[in-house]
Structure 1
Amino acid sequence: MAENHPEGARSEEAVEIGRRVLRLRTEQGLTQRQVAEPAYTAAYVSTLESGKVRPSEAALRHLAGRLGVGYEELVTGRPAHLATDLRLRLTDARRALATGAPEDAAALFSALHEEAVAHTLVEEQAAALQGLGDCLLESGELTDARDCFAATERLLADQPLPVRVPAIRGRATAHLLTGELRYSCYLLETTLDELNASGLHDPDALLLLYTASIAPYMDMGAHARAAHAAELALALAPSVSDPALVAHMHRGVARTLIAEGRTAEADASLAKAQELYRHLQIRTELAHCHWMRGYVHAQDGDLEGAESELRTARDMLASKRAALFTVQVEVELADVLRRRGKADEAEVLLRPLLTSGAAGEDDGALGAERGAVHAGGAHRLLGLIAEERGDTDSAEEHYCAALSLLERSSAAGDVADLCRLLGDLLRRTGRVEAALDAYRTGLGHRAAPGTTTLGPAPATPPM
């Protein structure tokens, strides 16, 4: 049979294949003639091993058979079924994140990422980085999480937009938790517009984006936009097969129902989410359901039920070492404790959660760059406790600290509430002009929720 001797300079690929053939042949104690016959000559194998020729597909398949390896392994150097094995282990790492501590799962994802890089498996690299970003998000390492999601997007730059949506959603969530509500909305809305403009109406991607947008909309006071996103998410749900996505949708929709005073429907929505998360054994998300059910009970005036649900959520998150979410629940638990007349207990819970925002913040701290909205909430609660004790100076200090955090985050509804509290305090202490300024600031945030910081809503996709 004629041998294939393509002309041209020694290519890097030809050199790598030649080295691989030489290594495999010598490992098995075979001569060049034994590998070559009957289709090729020993001289051809010698030329190939020196990297002077890039063999044809037919030659590669012949050599792979003689050397006892797969065609892909001979061409790429990757062991047979490596990609499949990596994907299975990525699934195991996902399960570890769902049921265990994020840092333990992070170690698995990091090792898998290194292995995928070593074998140039781009999709598996991206999946490992996405998982690592989710771990960092859960443990509250928000800057590192953002970097992981951004790296995932770069790896998938040539893929269709729906493939990149989980990474974009992760980055938006990191910005939300940092307190950058407006930028979180911007990321989600521009992606929705790009999906719709390109005709890529992928139900999973759309549901993920609409559900993710509910939280920043609510925190910014854009309740109508949040309700519209929830309505679209509900319409998309029947087209989505992933139960985790559907459960997350039910949890997001519950927030809009609570805001509308439809607490019974919100509780029913959370019950659906809980059932799905329990079946999927996703403990962090199950804890989030207890967290939100605690909020529902608090809205209904059932403070004892609220305390029970919030303590359950806190214990579950603490057992998973989900540090940021744990301290956020503790802020809401402290609010319930204060309302139940346990101000001292609430204060003991709150004070360790706050720092000056310096670089030395520990895992249990909230601040301007980490859980800013809840940090503002903690200062607000400490201000209320101080005011109830008659310590107006301390109350004013906490209200001002809360206002600074919440204004920076564009949390319009919370800012308006803070301005009312601060204005009332200033008026009672005889500073009428300062009180009027506080009230005016609050009214400015309350006048048109969301419209002062958000542009036009993204286009509605065809259903």
Structure 2
Amino acid sequence: MNPRETSTPTELGERIKLLRGKRGLKQQDLASREISASYISLIESGKRAPSDAVLTALAQRLECSVEYLRTGRDDKELEEARLRLAFGEMALRNGSNGEALQALSELLAHPSLLDAHMTRRARLAQATALEKLNRIEAAVAVLDELQRDPELAPGSAEWCQVHVALCRCYRDAGDITLSIEIGERAMTRLDALGLDVTVDHIQLGATLMGSYHMRGDLTRAQLLGNRLVDTAERQGARAARGAVYWNAGLVARSRGQLNEALALVERALALMSEDDNLRHLAMLKMNYGFLLLRVDAPEPERAKHLLEEAQQLLAEVGNVPELAACEVHLADAEAMLGNWDQAAAHAERALGLSGNELRIQAVSARATLADIHLLRGDRGQAAQYLQGATRQLRQFPPSHMTALNWRYIGDLWKRQGDSGEALKAYDQALAAVGMTSHRDPSTVLARQHRP
């Protein structure tokens, strides 16, 4: 039976008939002054839908709950299902993603035990577990199905959570365009509904802001950020305000406003430090540590401490790309402190985490290893890692992130003394942000004069 609040008259009638037979009762045994045996027959054949009063009387005679007659779920089974759902959600919060996925999948394998609301909760938690286990395509499939659920009320907390997760998953999968389309449609729908702003609304806006940032659309990201900051301050929720300041810090960082970015991320960390979302806390500490390495007066020791705290949290609640990024930043911190062996070990771990998957973190790890070998004076090893980073980065579509990596690789080739490769990398960086080269007039003239 599909999960729904009530059964059809036919299903309800069949359940009454089956239970009556198990109890060894006849239709006459269920009859009373108010309920005739013929009416019982009509109910069992699905030709009549009993009123609540009749259903209550029948439940008493059949020694079961009204809930069981109405839905096929007895109170004990329903309570057990609620406990299993709560266990799955708790395991998810504690970072036991595999355990959570197993519990939730087992629960969803018996849909008759769940009502519609519990089913949506379980499916959303299942999608979250899949996302954290880096099974993005499977998570998207679950979220797409949830998005099409006609009972998912636009503007509700569940509706917002589904769209936030879809926006984030498509972004993490590399489809920035679709991520932004989903986020913009959802924001437009919310604006049209004219609902009071909630934490979920702000989280949706902050997620869209992050997708704008990743695409390199910093103007849109900043405009949305300005709007969200005002809204979040009025709304007052610490976590919502923290999410907005966090993304505003990322935008400021990309604009080269590192001191402003540092102040924004500090504020976000202060707001979200008491939140129970360990992943958010880990990501904030990682971003804070990264910025401490990039400001005019770097603080590598402090950055290392923050990054190690982030690493411990991400080991519990993070995914593979997040852990790999943290390892790369730790490599940068150790290199800045002159600890070459520790720096190389962190970068190698980032490569190991990425495996054979095409990840931007693997490019960054190879570039970092090239940087470390250049600092050590080993130009041969540096060239090998640079060649690997260059080959891999060519496979990524243009974006702000690929532009940053091309610029880094260009700087490393320049330090290596290979101006030709450096120039190619700089050209790729410009192309990644939409700045293509001018047409060579001599080429056009040659075509015109070709016989």
- Give the secondary structure class of the aligned counterpart of 2:74: coil
- Give the secondary structure class of the aligned counterpart of 2:148: helix
Letter in 2 for 1:393: A
Letter in 2 for 1:332: H
1:325 match: 322
The offset of 1:207, in angstroms, is 0.6
Select the residue among 397, 401, 417 that pairs with 1:411.
Answer: 401
The correspondence of residues 21-60 of structure 1 with structure 2, limited to 5 A, is 21-49=16-44, 51=45, 53-57=47-51, 59-60=54-55
Q: Deviations over 1:412-440 (max 9, x none)?
A: 541452463266368x3363xx6544433
Q: Distance in 2 between matches of 1:381 and 1:157?
A: 49
Paired residues of 1:217 and 1:223 also in contact (CA < 8 A): yes
Q: Distance in 2 between matches of 1:373 and 1:380?
A: 11
The offset of 1:315, in angstroms, is 1.9
The correspondence of residues 206-217 of structure 1 with structure 2, limited to 5 A, is 206-217=201-212
2:372 match: 385
- Give the secondary structure class of the aligned counterpart of 2:379: coil
The offset of 1:222, in angstroms, is 2.8
Letter in 2 for 1:269: A
- The change in CA–CA distance for 1:157 and 1:373 in structure 2 (over 3 A counts) is farther
Letter in 1 for 2:170: H
The offset of 1:302, in angstroms, is 0.5
2:123 match: 129
Higher mean alpha-carbon deviation, 144-153 vs 404-413, is at: 404-413
Higher RCO (C-alpha 8 Å, min separation 6)? 1
Letter in 2 for 1:305: R
The offset of 1:153, in angstroms, is 1.5
The offset of 1:339, in angstroms, is 2.4
- Give the secondary structure class of the aligned counterpart of 2:131: helix
Select the residue among 128, 136, 144 that pairs with 1:142.
Answer: 136
Paired residues of 2:282 and 2:311 also in contact (CA < 8 A): yes
Q: Does 1:365 align with 2:354?
A: yes
Paired residues of 1:219 and 1:411 also in contact (CA < 8 A): yes
Count of paired positions: 419
Q: Distance in 2 between matches of 1:86 and 1:249?
A: 36
2:59 match: 64
- The change in CA–CA distance for 1:303 and 1:135 in structure 2 (over 3 A counts) is same
Letter in 1 for 2:383: D
Identity across matched positions, percent: 21
Q: Distance in 1 between matches of 2:318 and 2:422?
A: 43
- The change in CA–CA distance for 1:320 and 1:410 in structure 2 (over 3 A counts) is closer
2:345 match: 348
- The change in CA–CA distance for 1:418 and 1:166 in structure 2 (over 3 A counts) is same
1:452 match: none
2:226 match: 231
Q: Does 1:155 align with 2:149?
A: yes
Q: Distance in 1 between matches of 2:413 and 2:320?
A: 34
Q: Distance in 2 between matches of 1:92 and 1:416?
A: 45
Paired residues of 1:172 and 1:185 also in contact (CA < 8 A): yes
Higher mean alpha-carbon deviation, 128-137 vs 98-107, is at: 98-107
Paired residues of 1:287 and 1:317 also in contact (CA < 8 A): yes
The offset of 1:91, in angstroms, is 4.0
Letter in 2 for 1:316: L
The correspondence of residues 309-320 of structure 1 with structure 2, limited to 5 A, is 309-320=306-317
Q: Deviations over 1:357-399 (max 9, x none)?
A: xxxxxxx325655xx3323322321232344421253143134
Select the residue among 390, 407, 410 that pairs with 1:420.
Answer: 410
**RMSD of equivalent CA atoms:** 3.4
Q: Deviations over 1:17-44 (max 9, x none)?
A: 2221123334445443231112223344
Letter in 1 for 2:361: H
- The change in CA–CA distance for 1:55 and 1:242 in structure 2 (over 3 A counts) is same
Paired residues of 2:56 and 2:66 also in contact (CA < 8 A): yes
- Give the secondary structure class of the aligned counterpart of 2:18: helix
Q: TM-score, normalised by structure 2?
A: 0.80
Q: Deviations over 1:109-128 (max 9, x none)?
A: 2233234x224623322211
Higher mean alpha-carbon deviation, 341-350 vs 191-200, is at: 191-200
Q: Distance in 2 between matches of 1:396 and 1:424?
A: 11
1:191 match: 186
- The change in CA–CA distance for 1:92 and 1:258 in structure 2 (over 3 A counts) is farther
Q: Deviations over 1:87-124 (max 9, x none)?
A: 56534432322224211222222233234x22462332
2:174 match: 179
Gaps spanning 5+ residues in structure 2: where?
1-6, 436-451
Paired residues of 1:419 and 1:442 also in contact (CA < 8 A): no
- Give the secondary structure class of the aligned counterpart of 1:78: coil
Higher mean alpha-carbon deviation, 294-303 vs 67-76, is at: 67-76
Q: Distance in 2 between matches of 1:430 and 1:123?
A: 61
Gaps spanning 5+ residues in structure 1: where?
1-11, 356-363, 449-463
The offset of 1:129, in angstroms, is 1.4
Q: TM-score, normalised by structure 1?
A: 0.78
- Give the secondary structure class of the aligned counterpart of 1:23: helix
Q: Distance in 1 between matches of 2:154 and 2:245?
A: 27
Q: Does 1:439 align with 2:426?
A: yes
- Give the secondary structure class of the aligned counterpart of 2:109: helix
